[in-house]
Structure 1
Amino acid sequence: MAFTRTAGKHRARRRPTRRGANAAGVATLTATGVIGTLAASPALASGAGAEAASQTGFNRVADLGDALAAVVDDQAHAQRYAADRAARIKAEAVARAEAERLAEARVKEIRATRERAARAAERTLLNTFQLPVAGSYITTGYRAGGSLWSSGSHSGVDFRAASGTPVVAVGAATVVEAGWGGSYGNNVVLRMSDGTYTQYGHLSSIEVSVGQSLAPGQRLGLSGASGNATGPHLHFEARTGPDYGSDMDPVAYLRAHGVNV
């Protein structure tokens, strides 16, 4: 009895032949461009050199891969170098800016310190008072009575001073009068830094002019006996105003400003 194989779904699938597999491989190589590269070489065009061509193609692909990797490495290195350089430049700029800020702050601090010192020195100068004649003493006191004074009393004090003795401003002041003052002879009137006034009479010479600023102890003239005087001395007055009649106790005035009289 004979058996025959029926066609249908139970029939085993055919295995792909070697030839079919090779065809598929060729198609793949063609798609990637390898066959095209190999075919361009005359030495590999014949069937006998197929194996050598295959090897050479893969070597070229490997070489291209190495070259590409080297390019990528170079690019990465260049990028890292550029990033490091940019970071370094930024850090240097920040450091310079901080150094400039600190230097500017230091300059401001020094300037402020100097200004404070100058103001302190100015305050000290304004508050510095001294005798109008160095090392002298009072020979006639304030409000002393007698016929020597037209008002009947002494409106100031007299300091002992030989003719030609330097007479100085008792404190920082501005000259408001410098010249002949009648019975006061050659006299100088100063407006002091605290708004009060002082007068220096019977001078033999005057060395300042109206509007001039004087420092404490600056010379304004020489003592003498000009005007209504019985002999060389310095007549000194302290006043609330620039004119005669506004006098106050010169000794109390000087002591209030720290002068030992």
Structure 2
Amino acid sequence: MAFTRATGKHRAPSRMTCRGAKAVGIATLATAGVIGSLASPALAADTEAPAAGDTGLSQIIAIEGGLAARIEAQADAQRHQAAEAKAEAEAKAKARKKAEAKKKAEAAARAEEARESRARAARSAERARLGTFRLPVAGSYVSTGYESSGSLWSSGSHSGIDFHAASGTPVVAVGGGTVVEAGWGGAYGNNIVLRMSDGTYTQYGHLSSIDVSVGQSVDVGHRIGLSGATGNATGPHLHFEARTTPSYGSDMDPVAYLRAHGVSV
């Protein structure tokens, strides 16, 4: 009776299948750590794990670490640039404010200088106006001097000076001032007293007429009346006095007074 080879599931595995099964089993044992204890030294050496530096994981870690360092460096550079830009902007703003403040201060200084210049000019003009004096009778001369003695004067001497003037000759203010007296003055006849702008007083006597009133302001050369011979007078002329007060008895040298104000007498 002849025998035939069994087929189907009872068929014996081939040599290659057996070899593959053995390899799988060895790999399984190696994974479990069993073969390590049974293998020969040569086999154990052949199955050692690769060095850490040769693995893909370490390369990934190294790449990620380098990338993080570059990102951090870029962030630091950006922060540094932002800080520099902010500092530069603040410095420019501070410089701009300082320049604006300086410009305003210079403008204010120029304005103040201009105001002071105008004030000086005004004061100079006022001093010139106040310092401009003239003779009370144009083109006249002194016919009787100051403190001349004689019986014609109750005090025994002349308290002013007389200017030669025909009756009706215009009499003007020798300087700018205010009228404090205008009317009859006894021995002075019709007389006017002015308070001058420098605080002194001048008096004009023996007038034939008066053209101003008390409280009126007059400038240098303003006509205040006409010469005459009213009061205690021997003939037409102008009696002129310079005083420290508006009253009789406070007289000072009229010639020296006029010369001190630039008038040739």
Verify: 1:239 aligned to 2:243, yes or no. Answer: yes
Which of 206, 210, 225 lines up with 2:211 in the alignment?
206
Verify: 1:88 aligned to 2:119, yes or no. Answer: no
Report sequence identity in percent. 55
| C-alpha distance in structure 1 between counterparts of 2:155 and 2:54, whole Å | 145
Larger Rg: 2
| C-alpha distance in structure 2 between counterparts of 1:254 and 1:173, whole Å | 15
For 1:135-150, what aligned pairs fall within 5 Å after superposition? 135-144=139-148, 149=153
| C-alpha distance in structure 1 between counterparts of 2:157 and 2:80, whole Å | 105
For 1:16-35, what aligned pairs fall within 5 Å after superposition? 17=48, 21=52, 25-26=56-57, 29=60
SS at match of 2:108: helix
1:134 is matched with 138
Shift of 1:236: 0.8
Q: Which runs of 5+ in 1 are unaligned?
A: 1-10, 35-60
Give the alignment's Cα RMSD to 1 decimal: 4.4
SS at match of 1:91: helix
Shift of 1:96: 0.9
Shift of 1:231: 5.1
| C-alpha distance in structure 2 between counterparts of 1:27 and 1:69, whole Å | 22
For 1:79-228, what aligned pairs fall within 5 Å after superposition? 80-144=84-148, 149=153, 154-192=158-196, 195-203=199-207, 204-210=209-215, 212-215=216-219, 217-219=220-222, 221-225=224-228, 227-228=230-231
Shift of 1:117: 4.5
Alpha carbons 1:208, 1:220 under 8 Å: kept: no
| C-alpha distance in structure 1 between counterparts of 2:200 and 2:70, whole Å | 99
| C-alpha distance in structure 2 between counterparts of 1:17 and 1:161, whole Å | 149
Letter in 2 for 1:206: D
TM-score, with length taken from structure 2: 0.60
SS at match of 2:195: strand
TM-score, with length taken from structure 1: 0.61
| C-alpha distance in structure 2 between counterparts of 1:195 and 1:184, whole Å | 22
CA change 1:25–1:206 in 2 (3 A) is same
| C-alpha distance in structure 2 between counterparts of 1:26 and 1:152, whole Å | 138
| C-alpha distance in structure 2 between counterparts of 1:147 and 1:131, whole Å | 28
